[in-house]
Chains A and B, each alone.
Chain A
C-alpha cells in the first residue's frame, strides 16, 4: 500500500504543473526583474502574470493589491504592525482565542509593549459571539484580525460580515485566510476586508512564498524597507520562481474549486461518517455546518493523539493531532480548550485534511485501520475497561499530581 497523505492543512504537495512553470525561472529566466536588459524582461512579465492569477482567485479589484511576501506569518505580522504604525492613537487589537500562533504570539508580544488585546472566546462549536464583538468595536481599536478558516477544525468564521461591522465603525479588518484561499470561493472586491494573508504551500505552491492582499486606499506602513519592489511596500528582491509557482497554483486552485467542494468534500464526509459510525466514543469537533470542505477533526475519547499518530504512521497514514505531546507543550491544543472539549477527548483529537490528490480508495484504507488502532490504545488506557469506558471515568481514575 502506498502512503496516504491526509495532512494537507499542514502543507501540500507542489503540483507538478507548478514545478514545470517554475523551472525556467531557475535556469534561463534568472534575471533580476528590476534590471534593464533582456534577462530581466521575461521575469518581470512572469511576475505580472502571477499577480493577475492571484488576483483572480481571490477576486481582488486591482492586481496592485497583491503584495508578495515570504510566508503567511510575514503577511500577518505586516498587516497588524502596519495598522498600529499607521494609527498611533489606536492602541487596541481585536482577535480570537483560536487564531494561529502567527497572530497569537505576535499579540502576546504586543501586549507586553502596552497594547490592549481583546481575544474573543468561542462556544462549543468554535464560533464567536457577535454581540461581544460589537461591543468591542470602538475608536481605540487599530485593527481586527480574525481568521477565515480554523486550521484545526476547518470552522469558518463569518469574516465578510465581521469586516462590514468593523468597517461601519471605521476600523481596519484583516483576516488570516491561509487555510481558506483555494478551498472556498471568495470575491474580495465585494467585501470590506482590508487585508488578507495567503500562504503558498497550503495550496500546492512551494514553501517560502506568501501574499498580503491590501485593499487600495488602506493606510499602510511596510515591515521591510529597502528597494522599490512591490511598489515599496515589501522591499527585497522578488522570489521570482516561487511567485510564478504561486500564480500557477492559484490558477489551478480556481479551476478545481468546484471539485474541492464536491469530490474532496465527499471523501471527507465519507471518512468522518465511517469513523464515527464504527468507533464508539468518537465525535467531530467544530462547527460541522460551517466548515472547510477538506477538513475533519475527530476526537477519540480516553486515548492520546500522538500515540494514535504513531500507529497511523506505521500503517502508512499521515494526519495530525491537537494533543499536547505532538507540540512538546503540556497543554492540549488551545483551539480544543477554547471550545471546552474535555481533556480526556482534547488530547485524542486527530485532524484529517484532504486535497485533490486524495481518492475514495484511500478513504476506505483508512477506515479499515482506524477502529483497530483506537481499540488497541484503549486496551492500554486506565479510562477503558473491556469494550467501554470505566464507569464515571473521572472518579474511577484520579491520579495524584501536584
Chain B
C-alpha cells in the first residue's frame, strides 16, 4: 500500500474540478495508456487578460494521478497563463504534501498537461521531450533512461561515477546491481567491458575556472557554509534546518534538524544540498548526515 498523504487521499476521494470545462479554449492531452496514466486538461482562458477562469480534468490513472490532476486545477485557477507556467511538478507534489518517489511522474504529467494546454491556447505545437524509464534509484527517483543518457554523455565507467553525476545509488545502495547492469549494457555498445573494480573516472572538467585544488581548505569550508546559509530559509520554511558539522576531504557532514531529521524526505533534502554544493563548488562533494560520522568514529 502506498504511503499517501492525507492531502493526496482528500483530492482523490473528493476530486475538485472533475470533468471537461464548457467552452474550453485550451486543451492539453498527455500521458500514455500503456503506462496506465493519461490526462486531459481543459481550461477556459480570458483572451485579453490571459487569466485562467476555469479548469477541469479528466484522468485515467491511479490515486496519485487523479489527486495530482485535481490539485493542479486548484493551483492554476485565477492565475494568468504565464504565472501558471511557473508551476513546477515539485509545486504540485508539495501542494499534496509530497508523493512517493515511484509516483512523482504523476506530478510531472500534471505539469506537462498544463504546458500542452497553454501551447494549444497559443496555437503552438507542444512536443514532449522527456522519456521515462524504469525507476532504478528509489531514494532519488532516478530512472534508467536518465542514467543511460548520463553514462553515454559523460563516458561514465563505474557505479561511483553514476552516483556522482546523477545521485542514483547514493542513498540506500540497493540499486547498485541495476546500475551495474546499465553500465554493462552501455559499455558493451561502446565496445568496452564493464570493470567493477575500475577506479572512478576523473571528473569532467567544469567550465568554472576555479579548480578544486585552487581553494584552501578554509576557503572551501567557508564556501560550503555560505551555500548552506542560502538554502536554510527554504528548509526552515518547511519546519527543518541544517548545520555544517565537519568537512573531511570531499565529504561534508551535516546535522539535519527539525522536520528534516529522520523524515523520509531527509535523503531527498540531503541530495538537494549535495547537488547545489556540487554546482557551486564545481567539484564532487558528498553530503553525509553527521550521525554517520559518529557511527564511523565509534
The 8 A CB mask of B90-120 against A (1 = contact, 0 = none) is 0000000000001100000000000010000
Interface hit among B56-64, B160-168, B222-230, B287-295? B56-64
The 8 A CB mask of A375-402 against B (1 = contact, 0 = none) is 0000111110000000000000111111
- The verdict on B233 contacting chain A, using a C-beta distance below 8 Å, is no
A329 surroundings in chain B (CB, below 8 A): 134-135
Contact of B128 among A307, A314, A400 (CB under 8 A): A400
The 8 A CB mask of B167-207 against A (1 = contact, 0 = none) is 00000000000000000000000000000000000000000
Closest CB-CB distance, B143 to chain A, in whole Å? 9
The 8 A CB mask of A289-315 against B (1 = contact, 0 = none) is 000000000000011111100110010
Interface hit among A46-54, A60-68, A236-244, A320-328? A320-328
- The verdict on B37 contacting chain A, using a C-beta distance below 8 Å, is yes
Interface hit among B13-21, B150-158, B259-267? B13-21
Closest CB-CB distance, A295 to chain B, in whole Å? 21
CA gap between A311 and B15 in the complex, in Å: 13
Contact of A304 among B13, B30, B61 (CB under 8 A): B61
Given A307-B66, A325-B36, are A399 and B30 neighbors across the interface (CB < 8 Å)?
yes
The 8 A CB mask of B112-143 against A (1 = contact, 0 = none) is 00001000000000111111101100000000
Q: Is the CB of A304 within 8 A of B60?
A: yes
A400 surroundings in chain B (CB, below 8 A): 29-30, 116, 126-128
- The verdict on A11 contacting chain B, using a C-beta distance below 8 Å, is no
B2 surroundings in chain A (CB, below 8 A): 306
Given A399-B40, A400-B127, are A306 and B62 neighbors across the interface (CB < 8 Å)?
yes
Instruction: Count A-B pairs with CB separation below 8 Å.
Output: 105
Contact of A380 among B37, B58, B129 (CB under 8 A): B58
CA gap between A258 and B6 in the complex, in Å: 45
- The B interface is mostly helix, strand or loop, or mixed, namely mixed
A331 surroundings in chain B (CB, below 8 A): 34-35
- The verdict on A358 contacting chain B, using a C-beta distance below 8 Å, is no
CA gap between A310 and B11 in the complex, in Å: 12
For chain A, the bracket of interface size reads: 20 to 34
Q: Is the CB of A330 within 8 A of B12?
A: no
The 8 A CB mask of B8-51 against A (1 = contact, 0 = none) is 01001101001100000000011111111111100000000000
Which parts of B39-87 form the interface with A (CB within 8 Å)? 39-40, 57-66
Q: Is the CB of A382 within 8 A of B38?
A: yes
Closest CB-CB distance, B91 to chain A, in whole Å? 22
- The verdict on A332 contacting chain B, using a C-beta distance below 8 Å, is yes
- The verdict on A283 contacting chain B, using a C-beta distance below 8 Å, is no
CA gap between A337 and B29 in the complex, in Å: 24
CA gap between A379 and B38 in the complex, in Å: 14
Closest to B32 in A: A401
Q: Is the CB of A402 within 8 A of B19?
A: no
Closest to A329 in B: B134
Q: Is the CB of B63 within 8 A of A380?
A: no
Q: What is the interface of chain A, defined by CB distance below 8 A to chain B?
A: 302-307, 310-311, 314, 323-326, 328-332, 343-344, 347, 379-383, 397-402
Q: What is the interface of chain B, defined by CB distance below 8 A to chain A?
A: 2, 9, 12-13, 15, 18-19, 29-40, 57-66, 102-103, 116, 126-132, 134-135
Shortest 7 CB-CB distances between A and B: which pairs? A325-B62, A306-B62, A382-B58, A328-B102, A347-B36, A401-B32, A399-B29
Q: A304-B61, A343-B34 are in contact. List 11 more A-B contacts (CB 8 A).
A: A307-B62, A307-B65, A310-B63, A325-B62, A330-B134, A331-B35, A382-B38, A397-B29, A400-B126, A401-B32, A402-B131
Could you list 29 examples of A-B contacts with CB < 8 Å? A302-B60, A304-B37, A306-B63, A307-B62, A307-B65, A310-B63, A314-B13, A325-B36, A325-B61, A325-B62, A325-B64, A329-B135, A331-B35, A343-B34, A379-B19, A380-B18, A380-B19, A381-B59, A381-B60, A382-B39, A383-B60, A397-B29, A399-B29, A400-B116, A400-B127, A400-B128, A401-B30, A402-B128, A402-B132
